[in-house]
Amino acid sequence: MAILQLRGVSKSFGQGARRVDAVRDFSLEVDRGEVVALEGPSGSGKTTLLALAGALLTPTAGEIRVDGDDITKYGARARTRYRRDRVGFVFQGSNMVPFLTARENLLLVGEFGAGDRAALRRRADELLDQLDLIPVRDQVATSLSGGERQRVAIARALMRDPSLLLVDEPTASLNFELGTRVVDALLSEVHLRDKACIMVTHDDRMAQRADRLVEIRDGSVLSDRPLR
């Protein structure tokens, strides 16, 4: 059963002569336990697709279903709840709250809504342990290395146990060795926890580590092939 389904999704910006079609009639399904690498040149619509799947943008046309729900029908509050509880974001670069420690960055998601604080603390410690972050858990984000920050970002994305992970260029600011470690950690978590994941990248070496590779050009699917 596909966790994420995009059907005939289009997204345009601007109007008239200034109209830009970032995504055109795009369809994709991502199954549980599957990591799909989305590869393409700059401006091909990768990040727009991620933003659409994460309810940061609404499509001009088409439908986006997550666990069967059409998220394009959601209002502002429902979109916020969706982003908080059902999707995990890993952004490019260090998108930690700089004055919080690694552990506090994970616990931050508990502040946005109701939840058992003790359970959240246990989960944070468990994720920090699994991603080898225990030694740095009490260090503020600004003192962490790039690789550590990205692993903290992955752990933060998994805090609410979302069914879908949306990962944007996770290795852009890392060298190959560090990038590989981060992507492997991500793959391991997705497979271990049976999540669906879209990972945007323009690094083919990283894309090859995914379960499936979707190449896009000008907002449309150019190729879609399994890697495992």
Residues forming contacts to other proteins in the complex (CB under 8 A) are 47, 50-51, 54, 56-57, 77, 80-81, 83-85, 89, 91-93, 95, 97-100, 104, 108-109, 111-113, 140, 156-157, 160, 168-169, 172
Shortest distance, position 112 Cβ to other proteins, whole Å: 5
User: What is the CB neighbour count within 10 angstroms for residue 15?
Assistant: 7
Closest CB 153 distance from other proteins, rounded Å: 10
Given the complex with other proteins, which of 81 and 191 has the nearer CB atom? 81
Buried-exposed string 139-156: b where 16+ CB fall within 10 A, e elsewhere: ebbeebebbbbbbbbbbb
**98/226 with CB nearer other proteins:** 98
Query: Which lies closer to other proteins via its Cβ, residue 47 or residue 211?
Result: 47
Residues 6+ apart with CB under 8 A from 49: 6, 9, 23, 26, 28, 38, 198, 200, 216
Q: In the bound complex, what is the minimum distance in angstroms from residue 24's beta carbon to other proteins?
A: 19
Nearest approach, Cβ of residue 140 and other proteins (Å):
7
Q: Across the beta sheet with 34-39, what order do the strands follow?
A: 87-90, 164-168, 196-201, 34-39, 212-217, 220-226
Q: Rank residues 141 and 211 by Cβ distance to other proteins and give the closer one.
A: 141
The number of beta carbons lying within 10 Å of the beta carbon of residue 212 is: 19
Q: Taking the complex as a whole, how short is the minimal distance between the CB of residue 212 and other proteins, in angstroms?
A: 22
Q: Is the Cβ of residue 152 or residue 211 nearer to other proteins in the bound state?
A: 152
Give residues with Cβ within 8 angstroms of 104, minimum separation 6.
97
